Amino acid sequence: MATHALELRAAARITLQTDQGPIKVLPAPFVRNGPPDQSHFHRKLLDLQFSSGCLLQEQLSRLSMVEEVEDLGPTAQNVLENPRATAVSWNSNYGTHGWHRYVGRFPAHVVRALLNHFGADNRSLVCDPFAGSGTTAVECRLLGIPFVGIEICPLSCMMVRAKAAFPAEAALLRDLGESFRASYQERWHRFVKGRRISAITHAEVLDRKGNLVPPFANFERWFTPAALLGVSIAVEIGMSHEGFAREATLLALSSRMRSIGNIDVDVVRAEYSREPRENVDVGRIVVRQLHKMAADVAACLSSHAGVIGSPSSITLHEGSVLDVNLPERSVDHVITSPPYGVEAMSYLRTHLLSYRSLFVHLGHDPYGTRDKTIGSEYIEETFAHGEHRARRVSPKCGQFFAASSAGWDSRYRARRAAMLQFCDDMLAVGERLARWLKQNGRVAFIIGNKRLGEDVIPMDTIVTELFRSCGLKFVEAIRHKLKTNNSNSQVPWQERIIQEESILFFTKTRGTE
């Protein structure tokens, strides 16, 4: 490296104060080069990792947002992420994190910083009751921390299992890719029998012996017959396997759905403004994705050698957080982000084509559990007239929702009712977390304040008051818009309705008996 560049790097080093004395670190490139409005938040996350005095000298390689530590060298995260020196925004797609697009995914760097802040290690149990696409689960696996998650959506559950509980051999995925290639070609030729592909119809594909994709609304507008045939064969091959091999194959297919079907997930609803994609080679797309996944697993294993946990350290319950029961006082720390209020169904719907195509494995789409989905837009009318415990427990909630509903239009009334229901659900979540946590257990709860008409709902304060009533002592809030510049986790409409986001910290202070 040129002398000038070395000097610049040396100047970028900062000193973090720790219990064990000052430590010099070189912040990650996106911290060094990032926009000034993020620097406070970044610095806070750097400092937080030492503020509990939990991070031991030998654990410095698990620091987050740090390129290298003096006398130690690069951190494991930096080796895995391998960011460009010119990066200005964090990229949360390192390792297996980027295996599937997911709206509402939080940055892996934040999760790692929080795990360090809490001092979680291989003797701790970390819980994410809204596991989503598995960011907390993946970070726990990489750092060898036992994890238990809960998630209601079957596609998300598949993501969590594949991304966090992968077997510790990358060769398995490479072999899976190769055997997929052979099976795919054999099935394709057996069906096409030398005919021109344009002569094949959708109906024929759906009647194909071995097809497991059920007919669904407008399927001929989503896929060309050739793309439908490719998807049908890929699903058939995936379903011929069990466990991880099955889910990895189906996940590889699902993650590339935007290159296969007529789907534009940047709008909430399925749109057919374009013609279905032509000349799509599903076989090649899936094989390439499986090979990429093999390389990602190999990178995780080598960058986190000696730390990474076993697949069995990751447990996931598929169901609602309000139905699953974890043992009392079994959890050390909670790191989670629930839906931020109404619109949960909208962002789950961005994967509609995957739900339809993989129905045979997933069993249902999010509409199947919409009554249990927190933040669902489809709540029962009766909820609107319910008593709403949250209004009594949280003064802020009571105040905000006090205005009478006379004169409001029905859309506003429905949104208001759904938001109130959401507050009640947050209270029920707080009660459960308080039961599951050990004494002095810690919670990091990431929540955003959404709009209701002209007003912004102070959900951060409401959740703080609700959780406090459950025996979770509020410690502090860090306010920030968790913007990752990562198109894999955002859709434009989110920007408009989520005003600001906070990381709320709590400690369990008393028993709930």
Ligand X SMILES: C[S@@+](CC[C@H](N)C(=O)[O-])C[C@H]1O[C@@H](n2cnc3c(N)ncnc32)[C@H](O)[C@@H]1O
Q: Which residues bind ligand X (CB under 6 A)?
A: 102, 104-106, 130, 132-133, 135, 150-153, 156, 320-322, 337-339, 344, 348, 372-374
Q: How far is the CB of 11 from ligand X (least distance, A)?
A: 34
CB nearer to ligand X: pick between 274 and 364: 364
Query: Which residue, 163 or 208, has its beta carbon nearer to ligand X?
Result: 163
Q: Which of 361, 413, 393 is nearest to 462 (CA)?
A: 393
Backbone dihedral region for residue 503 (phi beyond 0: left; psi -120 to 50: alpha; all else: beta): beta
**Rounded to the nearest whole angstrom, what is the least distance from the CB of residue 100 to ligand X in the complex?**
9
- Least distance CB 150 / ligand X (angstroms): 5
Q: Are 165 and 309 within 8 A, CB to CB?
A: no
Q: Which residue is nearest to ligand X (CB)?
A: 132
Strands 472-480 vs 21-27: parallel, antiparallel or unpaired: unpaired
Nearest to 469 by CA among 405, 512, 406, 422: 512
Please, how many CA atoms are within 13 Å of residue 298, restricted to the half-sphere of its CB? 11
> Cβ of residue 276: shortest distance to ligand X, in angstroms?
28
Record the tokens describing residue 145, joined without a space. 């921390």
User: For residues 26 and 498, which CB has a smaller minimum distance to ligand X in the complex?
Assistant: 498
The CB-of-197 to ligand X minimum distance in angstroms stands at 37
Q: How far is the CB of 375 from ligand X (least distance, A)?
A: 6
Q: What is the DSSP string of 191-248?
A: HHTT--GGG--HHHHHHSTT--PPP-TTHHHH--HHHHHHHHHHHHHHHHS-HHHHHH
Nearer to ligand X, 374 or 466 (CB): 374
CB 331 within 8 A of CB 508: no
Name the minimum Å distance from CB 175 to ligand X. Answer: 29
Tokens of 445: 């709860």
d(CA 455, CA 218): 38
For the chain, how are helix, strand and coil distributed in percent, rounded to 5? 50, 15, 35
Is 318 or 465 the residue whose CB approaches ligand X more closely?
318
**Which element (helix H / strand E) includes 472?**
strand 472-480
306 versus 492: smaller Cβ distance to ligand X: 492
Q: How far apart are CA 285 and CA 127, in angstroms?
A: 34
Q: How far is the CB of 281 from ligand X (least distance, A)?
A: 30
Smallest gap from Cβ 295 to ligand X, in A, equals 22
Least distance from ligand X to the Cβ atom of residue 92, Å: 8
Report whether 253 contacts 235 (CB < 8 A).
Answer: yes
Cβ proximity to ligand X, 146 vs 338, nearer residue = 338
Listed in sequence order, the residues at least 6 apart from 46 whose beta carbon sits closer than 8 Å to its beta carbon are 14, 16, 25, 27, 31, 65, 66, 113
Q: What's 276's DSSP letter?
A: P
Find all residues with CB under 8 Å of 377, minimum gap 6, and list them: 342, 343, 344, 345, 346, 414, 418
Q: Please provide residue 452's backbone torsions phi and psi, each rounded to the nearest 5 degrees.
A: -130, 105
Task: Name the nearest CA neighbour of 342 among 370, 375, 373, 388.
Answer: 375
Nearer to ligand X, 62 or 109 (CB): 109
Of the pair 102, 467, the CB lying nearest ligand X is at: 102
CB of 377 to ligand X, least distance (A): 12
Tokens 């991880």, residue located: 244
| Closest to ligand X by CB, 292 or 372 | 372
Considering the complex, state which of residue 212 and residue 268 has its C-beta at the smaller distance from ligand X. 268
